[in-house]
Structures are given as C-alpha cells and as structure tokens.
Amino acid sequence: MDERDFELIAALAKTRNITRAAEQLFVTQSSLSKRIQAIESELGITLLLRSRLGVHFTPEGEEVCKRTAEAVNQLKLMRSNLEAQKDYICGTLNAGISVNYSLYKLPKVLSMFRRQYPYVNTHITADHSRKLYLQILNGAIDVAILRGEYQWKENKILLERERICAIVNLKDKDKSLIDIPFIGRKTDSGFEREIMQWMHQNNLQTEQHGIVVDSITTCVEMVNHGIGWTIVPEICLGDFTGDIRPLTFSNGEPFVRSTYLMYTDAVLNLPQVEAFINTVRNTHKGV
C-alpha cells in the first residue's frame, strides 16, 4: 500500500460509493475496483461489501480506514515539520564529553548552544576519555571532547593545554610532600602513568594505606580539609584556596594535560553537529 491507496480508502469512507469515489479520484470504476482487490489480496481481508445502496466496510475494513487515516495525518505532520525546519537548525546531537570537561566547562558551552539552537535534541554522554574514544571510533557518538592523547586520523582540534598541579592545604604549605599523606584518584591509564612518572622522578610514592577516591572534586575537598595532598589539573582549581604548585618533569618540560575536540568529516553534513562544533570553538577563542 502507498499514499494513493490511503487516498482511495479515504474517498470510499467519505462517499460510501464506488462511482463517486472514482469521480473524486479521477479514475475509472474498473481501475478503482482492481485496486481495491489488490489491497484486499495484500492484507488478506475483505475490505468492503457492495450493495445497491453503496459500500459498507467490514470490521477489518474499518480498522484499515482508521489506521490509514492516522498514517495520512502523520505524513502531513512530517511534511509540515520538515518544511518548518528549513528555517532553523534542529535534529539530534550525540556528543561524548570527558567527565572533567563536563563538570567544569560544558555548562557554559551548552548554555550558549541552547540559546542559539533551542530545537536541537542534545544527548550528552559524560564519561572517561578512554571510553568515549572507543565510542567515537565505532561511530556511536558524533563528536567528542577528550582529555589526553589519542590517535585520530580525522579532525582533531586542540582546545586548551593546562598545567597539572600538586595542591596542599595552606596549613601544610611549608611542609615537604613526603611528610603529607597522598590522596590518589582513579583516572585514565595514560594520565596515571604520567603521575607515577613525576612522583618517581621526585622520590615520592603512594602509601600502602593511603586514600584513593574516584572523584576529582572529592580530592580537592579533602585537601581543603587538610587530609592530605593530591595531583590535579588546573581545570578544577577555580575555587581552591590552598597552595597550588604547577609540576615540571625532570627534563624541564611542564606537566600538562591537553583537551581535544574530535570529529569526522562526515558529521559536518549534519547542521546540528556543525553548530555544536562551532560553539565549542567559539568558547575557546583562537581555535
């Protein structure tokens, strides 16, 4: 069945007469009757009964009338919406955003994006960068903002490069880090290796009975309460009032963490995705 069949059934339901329905549709009675037979054959039902007084739909025919009328309305709505969407950007955005970026930077980006593109259905997956990297590799997300270094052959834009810092409570400012308990946290393996490299170069190690948490904000709050010291990126230190020590490796290179915007050329054909990419780039001026 197709839309012409929907129109045929609607005409029969309105006129209750083969002749008048054929006239309304500008077809012959013969061709109309053949099409009715084809519909009945396709659906395996008797659509209607003929009499001197006109046609009467069977119970199955009434169900067909009801459902085809609904289909016609849905098609009209679809066309109306598609026509309206020519004047604004809409559709669905599937973005994967690293946990820390989601916590500290994404609200500003989304605020700008939603103000400018309110008709876009925005689906955000906040997770560790390694997991999001695998998702963008298999096409599960349209665009990703990842922290750390990942191999990517398509569009990869550096958004920012921030320092990694050791932080301590002000009461411990004059103490050596060796004398303060270390607060570790679960993070991606690449960043964890860099932390361990820096600690090894500075003759530091995590205590066997130290503290390990899975939240960067918890780490910072523990330091605020004088429980110990930790290593975190600058992104989370906007409200921190303790002592901040940017870290440097033994070769003189600063310990930094990069954030990238990653996407394929194909997704640029989706206006809503291109709009999000441009919003992110505008938020990070100069990229």
Q: What is the CATH number of the domain that holds 213?
A: 3.40.190.290
CA-based nearest residue to 164, from 99, 230, 106, 98: 230
Q: Considering 30, 59, 86, which residue would you say is the last residue of a domain?
A: 86
User: Same domain, yes or no, for 271 and 145?
Assistant: yes
User: Same domain, yes or no, for 195 and 126?
Assistant: no
* Paired tokens of 192: 């964890």
256-263 and 155-168: which strand pairing?
antiparallel
On the 0-12 / 13-18 / 19+ scale of CB atoms within 10 A, 43 is middle
Domain count for the chain = 3
Partners of 110 in the β-ladder: none
User: Same domain, yes or no, for 104 and 22?
Assistant: no
User: Same domain, yes or no, for 73 and 209?
Assistant: no
Q: What is the pLDDT of residue 267?
A: 92
User: Same domain, yes or no, for 166 and 232?
Assistant: yes
Tell me the residue type at 1.
M
Count CB-CB contacts under 10 A for residue 69: 14
Q: What is the pLDDT of residue 208?
A: 58
Q: What is the pLDDT of residue 80?
A: 73
Q: What is the pLDDT of residue 87?
A: 77
Check: CB of residue 241 under 8 Å from CB of residue 225: no
User: Same domain, yes or no, for 148 and 263?
Assistant: yes
Q: What is the pLDDT of residue 83?
A: 74
Q: What is the CATH number of the domain that holds 24?
A: 1.10.10.10
User: Same domain, yes or no, for 34 and 114?
Assistant: no
User: Same domain, yes or no, for 152 and 11?
Assistant: no
The label of the residue with tokens 């395996």 reads 44
Q: Where are the beta strands (DSSP E) in 140-270?
A: 143-147, 155-168, 183-185, 211-213, 230-233, 243-246, 256-263
Buried b (16+ CB within 10 A) or exposed e, 225-262: eeebbbbbbbbbbeebebbeeebbeeeeeebbbebbbb
User: Same domain, yes or no, for 126 and 170?
Assistant: no
pLDDT tens by residue, the chain, 287 residues? 899 999 999 999 999 999 999 999 999 999 999 999 999 999 999 999 988 888 999 999 999 999 999 999 898 888 877 776 777 888 899 999 999 999 999 999 999 999 999 989 999 999 999 999 999 999 999 999 999 999 999 999 999 999 999 999 999 999 999 889 999 988 888 888 899 999 999 998 766 557 889 889 999 999 999 999 999 999 999 889 999 999 999 999 999 999 999 999 999 989 999 999 999 999 998 66
Distances (CA, A) of 256 to 97, 148, 175, 247: 19, 9, 24, 8
| CA–CA separation, 234 and 165 (whole Å) | 7
230-233 and 155-168: which strand pairing?
antiparallel
User: Same domain, yes or no, for 81 and 10?
Assistant: yes
Q: What is the pLDDT of residue 231?
A: 95
User: Same domain, yes or no, for 128 and 253?
Assistant: no
Check: CB of residue 35 under 8 Å from CB of residue 1: no
Stated pTM of the model:
0.71
Range of the domain at 232: 161-257
Helices (H) and strands (E) in the chain, counts: 10, 11
Distances (CA, A) of 157 to 29, 146, 282, 284: 66, 10, 12, 11
User: Same domain, yes or no, for 226 and 185?
Assistant: yes
Q: Considering 26, 53, 86, which residue would you say is the last residue of a domain?
A: 86
On the 0-12 / 13-18 / 19+ scale of CB atoms within 10 A, 152 is middle
Q: Considering 55, 86, 117, which residue would you say is the last residue of a domain?
A: 86
